């Protein structure tokens, strides 16, 4: 699993399917957002779409 360096989305692809950003193998923490409009964490991270995200990406 890889994490996007810009939007933190998790994916198996070499480039981010959400924003086209660069992916990294070095990430920590896992967050799955189901309802971004009602999630305080999603709002704090700037996440607007449901999906799987890393909390920290290097």
How many domains, the chain?
Answer: 1
* Domain coverage including residue 44: 2-57
Query: What whole-number distance in Å separates Cα of residue 32 and Cα of residue 52?
Result: 4
| Residue pLDDT, tens place only, 6-58 | 999 999 999 999 999 999 999 999 999 999 999 999 999 999 999 999 999 99
The CATH number for 46's domain is 2.20.28.90
Residues paired with residue 53 on neighbouring β-strands, in sequence order: 9, 31
> Within a 10 A sphere around the Cβ of 45, how many other Cβ atoms?
16
Query: What whole-number distance in Å separates Cα of residue 40 and Cα of residue 37?
Result: 8
pLDDT at 6: 95
């Amino acid at each position: 699993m890889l994490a996007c360096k810009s939007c933190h989305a998790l994916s198996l692809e070499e480039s981010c399917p959400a924003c086209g950003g660069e992916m990294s193998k070095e990430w920590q923490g896992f967050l799955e957002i189901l309802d971004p409009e009602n999630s305080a964490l999603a709002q704090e991270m700037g996440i607007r779409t449901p999906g799987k995200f890393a909390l920290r990406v290097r």
